Amino acid sequence: MNRFIALAALLITTPALAGPARPLKPGTVITKAKNLTSYRYIDALTEASGLRMDGFQLRYDRAGIRLRGDAHDIVIRNGSMATKRETTGSDLPVGIDLAGTVHDVLIEGVTASGHRMQPVLKKYTNGDGFSQEAGVYRVTYRRDVSTNNSDGGFDLKGQARLEDLIAERNGRNYRFWNDITATTLTSRDPSGAHVWLNAKAPQNVTIDRLVVLSTTIAPVLRIENAFPVSVTVKECVFAVPRGTLLQWGGKSATVKWGRNCLRDANGYAINT
């Protein structure tokens, strides 16, 4: 009897866990979760609908949370996630990965860091903090942080709203492939670009305030393709080294730079 009582008490006080050992059901609630041993903490399809996850610390071999299918009405809040080490081969590391037709998602107060692959000569190096595929829609990222990932801080192929985000020391801090509406985006020390666009169709990006603080000379805005991209940046704060291009590429793009978004005769960003 005493052993039964002790076991019951342990189950009550143990943080809720999800994953292969405990599949999700619609409306699952996960609070105060701590898991340091998973390959992928959550890997779910439409059964993830209604998921509420609040307060977590995750360390894993490959990925934190992968949602696919038509999962919807999801809130993920107040957590940290990181890989244990650099990955190799086909283990593409990512913090939160949204695919399929996932929709109506809020990700708030989440930090994703250290999703890195060991570089291989002539092969692409993946590793994203937050990843969203093209069919995913109505996603809001709010007060999230993405740091030290080898590819994208926020790699977003679907439409999204971004509110007060920070991306730091990623390959490219913000990678946008679709329409984006943003309030304040802060970008620090990327190796490739602060804001990077590569639309597969006409694209509209609006950023209310872009804060760029860097010791690297990665361009502020890099536009890769020839689609008629429309970009509006309403206000800028720059503290960057001389030689930092304000804009690279985008000959067919319409880019409207607002208050304090200035460049010199060489196209280099002027610090505010």
pLDDT tens per residue across span 12-23: 333 444 444 357
- The residue ranges of every structural domain in the chain are 2-259
pLDDT tens per residue across span 134-177: 999 999 999 999 999 999 999 999 999 999 999 999 999 999 99
Where residue 227 falls among pLDDT bands split at 50, 70, 90?
confident
pLDDT tens per residue across span 175-226: 999 999 999 999 999 999 999 999 888 899 999 999 999 999 999 999 998 8
* Residue 267: count of CB within 10 angstroms of its CB: 12
User: Which one is predicted more confidently, 57 or 90?
Assistant: 57
pLDDT at position 22: 55
pLDDT at position 7: 39
- Distances in Å between the Cα of 245 and the Cα atoms of 186, 197, 257 are 17, 15, 14
Alpha-carbon distance of 86 to 79, in angstroms, equals 21
Alpha-carbon distance of 63 to 106, in angstroms, equals 19
The answer on pLDDT for 229 being more than 70 is yes
Question: Which residues, including other chains, have CB under 8 Å from residue 229's CB and lie 6 or more apart?
Answer: 197, 199, 202, 203, 204, 205, 223, 250, 252, 253, 254, 255
178: tokens are: 């679709």
154: tokens are: 């926020």
pLDDT tens per residue across span 127-138: 999 999 999 999
